[in-house]
Structure 1
Amino acid sequence: MSDRKRTESNGSPESRNNPSTPGVSAENSNGGYNAGMAVFSYIIGGIIVWSLIGWGLDYLWGTRWIVLAGALLGAVGGFYLSHMHGLTSSRNSTGKSGADSGPSADGNTNAK
């Protein structure tokens, strides 16, 4: 009995990564929330780090504009990192785009 997998009431095996959290689908338990938080972290982290570097260079060189350039560079760099990690793509779990799925549910009611 200890070697058997536990089953739900419908008879299917219970997956360990199937959370009971509302708003999270069973197919993709780490979903869009985690990807959104990662994108947010990359962008905010880039802005903070590069603004501090710019502030330090402004202090050393006696300028006032490098902190703004650092903040812009950090935002662009954070978005670039999130894009390269695949967090900003609009693909669904099957790898197809939404346009590949066929016509909309209303059919041809608006066609002339």
Structure 2
Amino acid sequence: MPDQKKSAAGAHGRPGSNGSAATDSDASTDGGYNAGMAVFSYIIGGIIVWSLIGWGLDYLWGTRWIVLAGALLGAVGGFYLSHMHGLTSSRKNADGRHAPSAPSQDGIDNAK
């Protein structure tokens, strides 16, 4: 006998319905968090990788400043990559206009 709850959830496309994909509205609720984590990882990853390259060049050439230049280059490069992937663009509403980023006038926060 099929489970009524699972079949009803599957008909509406909700997550947890026997492996069906989430709807667009369900998938977009944490899009800002995922984009923020991607930007963070691009920038931190760039800083780490280019700092290590700068540290290696400092060791080989006997200098002390290339590691700092590498860290700066990694941060700028990580931000550039995240910008080119469209992760630093402003949020949009469903109708395509910019989403408000300030609190509402009545003080009620509608964040999920």
* CA RMSD, Structure 1 to Structure 2 (Å): 2.8
**Distance (whole Å) between structure 2 residues aligned to residue 45 and residue 27 of structure 1:** 26
Unaligned runs of 5+ in 2: 15-20, 107-112
- 5 Å-filtered alignment, 1:1-112, equals 6-8=7-9, 13-15=12-14, 16-17=21-22, 26=26, 28-94=28-94, 95-98=96-99
Q: Normalised by the size of structure 1, how large is the TM-score?
A: 0.67
Aligned pair count?
Answer: 91
Give 1:13 shift: 1.3
Q: Which amino acid counterpart does residue 96 of structure 1 have in structure 2?
A: R
**Distance (whole Å) between structure 2 residues aligned to residue 84 and residue 48 of structure 1:** 20
Runs of 4+ that moved beyond 4 A = none
In structure 2, relative to structure 1, the CA distance for the partners of 1:7 and 1:52 (3 Å cut) is same
Q: Which has the higher helix share?
A: 2
User: 1:42 aligns to what SS in structure 2?
Assistant: helix
Give 1:14 shift: 2.2
